[in-house]
Chain A
């Protein structure tokens, strides 16, 4: 008892405050990560789910997945999806951020309202865009037909490449505000005097942008891109609701394919293995991000 009391006196009392949260996270996040790892080396299906001893499968699940065409498609899709979303939402978000740093009456209010797409549940966004892209009642087809650009309605969500495109467009819509607001905040940290000084020295707008704004924004740009990568790479709801991986498994991401393996096909171990592939890629990117932030902080 005395020892315990001595332990918590001085700084160690910090443990006492932090302990409940840590226990909670270890039980509900730490333990599942470990058990997901173990699960991926076992052969767990519906029949073995409730049994005490589960058959060991070694690397069996991973080698099965290597030969699985759908897994390869999902892996490629996840990268295509992430990188194309990132590129467009960054460029559009940046353009909007620059636009809203100009001084005009509605700047602040409208920029704030632009956050709404980012906040609404992805399920709702997915439904909204499913309606827009729908081949018979969708406004997109109706508009294209009205303009005379197409004669037959396009089946946006029923053709593999177009379905992927539709999903990407939807996710860009969600990602724009995130990029815009972070870049806007970054832009406000650039001292106004610096930009004024440059223009007095005869720099034109393009030169100021390339020589001052961009270098000053570098850390923010890097954060936005890496965080954007992490958030986009693990997207689940959007694809699950819009196409659920269809048509014929052509739009699966690693996240939705993992879900399908576990909860539609009841191949829990293969689902776990797929999730682990996703996890490892994200972990590598996260570590890169943390090292980047950490280095940045040490410098300042």
Chain B
């Protein structure tokens, strides 16, 4: 018995070590980026390369504070504004829509679900040119409203589809009970159903935000003014201008992923549930 336990424990240690090695291999590009951002320019060009910065150097981060046109923190703020606003629009529209579709029978319901599914698979390329013309005619081209409106078109279908399954799974009795307690259809939705669906709402909020945060095409195409552009477009511009200044570029890239990593650390449960239910159940 004790022999078996021992071999089980050894197996556990071996597998755990192996998993950490696999993890290190997969994460190496990320590690390399962060390390590079902390090196001095001379050290980056050194052969053989150093796996760990010999002298920690934060200049690449501080230098960004001064540069007017490529201010990393300005574009960080822009990205926050754009993603948060797109997330809000997505939630405000998707929550009632999914409730309506999940809890009531009406004509054309299937068609709506189907069109939300198809929209999710749409390439940005199809929408870019016509949206560009549309926003120009509406005089919101080169304002942050245009990428906000465009980013929300990714968050809405995702959120609707996720929340439909949440609302549909709630028992009919819940509705009857809330009626007896004096709720009408709208207050029942707001006071009874919505709180129960809140884990689903968090999933949708996280994903809608991340869609906006990761977007490059919309932010770059609809915003001309560098001071308004999101951080992804900022990096892209910066690459064009200072293509070989890798310490600055990697610092810029690291700042971009900080919110993503934070969201990941605190919301991992929701992300995995969103990914699997969004993709598998469709």
| Interface residue ranges, A against B (CB under 8 Å) | 11-22, 24-25, 28-33, 35-36, 39, 49-50, 96, 99-100, 102-107, 110, 112-117, 119-125, 127-132, 134, 136-137, 139, 142, 146, 173, 176, 178, 181-182, 185-186, 220, 223-224, 227, 230, 233-234, 236-237, 240-241, 254-255, 258-259, 262-263, 268, 271-272, 274-276, 278-279, 282-283, 285-286, 289-290, 293
Contacts and interface: CB of A to CB of B under 8 A. Distances in A.
A50 B141 CA distance: 14
B129 interface: yes
Given A21-B93, A121-B214, A124-B253, A181 B32 contact: no
B183 interface: no
Contacts of B182: none
Contact of B105 (A11, A227, A279): A11
Contact of B217 (A114, A120, A259): A259
A71 B118 CA distance: 25
Given A21-B160, A123-B216, A124-B253, A99 B123 contact: no
Nearest to B12: A104
Interface of B: 11-12, 15-16, 18-20, 22-23, 26-27, 29-30, 32-33, 36, 44-45, 47-49, 89, 93-94, 96-97, 99-101, 103-106, 109, 112, 114-119, 121-134, 136, 149-150, 152-153, 156-157, 160, 185, 189, 210, 213-217, 221, 232, 235-236, 239, 244, 246, 249-250, 253, 256-257, 260-261, 263-264, 268, 271-272, 275-276, 279-280, 282
Contact of A17 (B96, B123, B246, B282): B96
B177 to A, nearest CB: 19
Given A123-B236, A182-B279, A236 B123 contact: yes
Nearest to A274: B125
A106 B18 CA distance: 10
B12 A255 contact: no
Most B Cβ at <10 Å: residue of A20, A30, A100: A20
Contacts of B263: 119
A185 B126 contact: no
B26 A114 contact: yes
A168 to B, nearest CB: 15
A139 B32 contact: yes
Nearest to A102: B15
A241 B236 contact: yes
A12 B16 contact: no
Nearest to B108: A15
B106 to A, nearest CB: 4
The A contact surface, by secondary structure, is helix
Main secondary structure of the interface of B (DSSP, over half): helix
A146 B101 contact: no
B246 A137 contact: yes
Nearest to A20: B93
Contact of A25 (B44, B48, B136, B157): B157
Given A22-B97, A119-B260, A255 B249 contact: no
Contact of A236 (B16, B89, B125, B239): B125
A290 B129 contact: no
Contacts of A100: 19
B123 A121 contact: no
A259 B129 CA distance: 8
Contacts of A35: 130, 133-134
A178 B275 contact: yes
B97 A12 contact: no
Contacts of A18: 96-97, 100-101, 112
Nearest to A30: B115
Given A14-B103, A104-B16, A116 B30 contact: yes
Contacts of B232: 121, 123-124, 237
Given A20-B96, A21-B156, A39 B130 contact: yes
A237 B217 contact: yes
A267 to B, nearest CB: 10
A104 to B, nearest CB: 4
A227 B279 contact: yes
Given A124-B253, A131-B246, A182-B275, A271 B100 contact: no
Contacts of B134: 28, 31-32, 35
A110 B125 contact: no
